[in-house]
Amino acid sequence: MMAHELHVKVRASETDGLGHVSNISYFIYLEEARIEVFRKLGTSMDMENWPFILASTSCDYVQQAYFDERLLIETTISRIGTSSFEMKHYVSSDRGLLAKGTAVIVHFNFASQKSEPLTEEMKHDLETLIGLETAKEAKR
C-alpha cells in the first residue's frame, strides 16, 4: 500500500522575494495533508468536537520549490503512542525530494484541557497508515 497522497500546485503568493516557496508555505502544505489524512480516517471536521492538537511540527528543507511547480505530499504514520501519534510528510516534485516534515498529534480533551488515551478504534485506523511506502520508495 502507498502513503496518503496530496497534490499541490504552488501559487505565486506562496513564494517569497527570493523566488522560491516560502518556508511558512511548507507548514501550510503539511497542515492540509494532515487534515486530508484525518478526513480519510473518518475524523469529523466539526471543529466544535475536534479531538486533536498539534504538539510539535518540524520541516527539513532539502531543495527549493518554485512557483507553478506541482508538489506531492505523502504522509505516513510513523509512531502510535498511548495518547499521541507521529506523522511523517515527504514533499517532492518531478525533481525529487524537496522537504521532509514531522508532526506529533495529541488526542486532547478541550473541556478538561488534558490529553486522553487514543481509543482502540483510533489506533486501528492509524495503523492502516503505518509504514506505508512513498512513491519514491516504491520505484526502487
pLDDT of residue 136: 57
SS3 124: helix
Beta-strand relationship, 70-80 and 84-93: antiparallel
CA–CA separation, 40 and 100 (whole Å): 21
| Grid cell digits, residue 70 | 506541482
75-132 pLDDT, tens digit each: 999 999 999 999 999 999 999 999 999 999 999 999 999 999 999 999 999 998 887 6
Give me the domain span that covers residue 54. Answer: 4-139
Whichever domain contains 18, its CATH number is 3.10.129.10
Global confidence as pTM: 0.90
Total of domains in the chain: 1
What pLDDT, on the 0 to 100 scale, is given for residue 112?
95
Contact indicator for 2, 76 with CB cutoff of 8 Å: no
Residue 135: pLDDT band by 50, 70, 90 thresholds?
A: low
Q: Which residue did the predictor score with more confidence, 2 or 28? A: 28
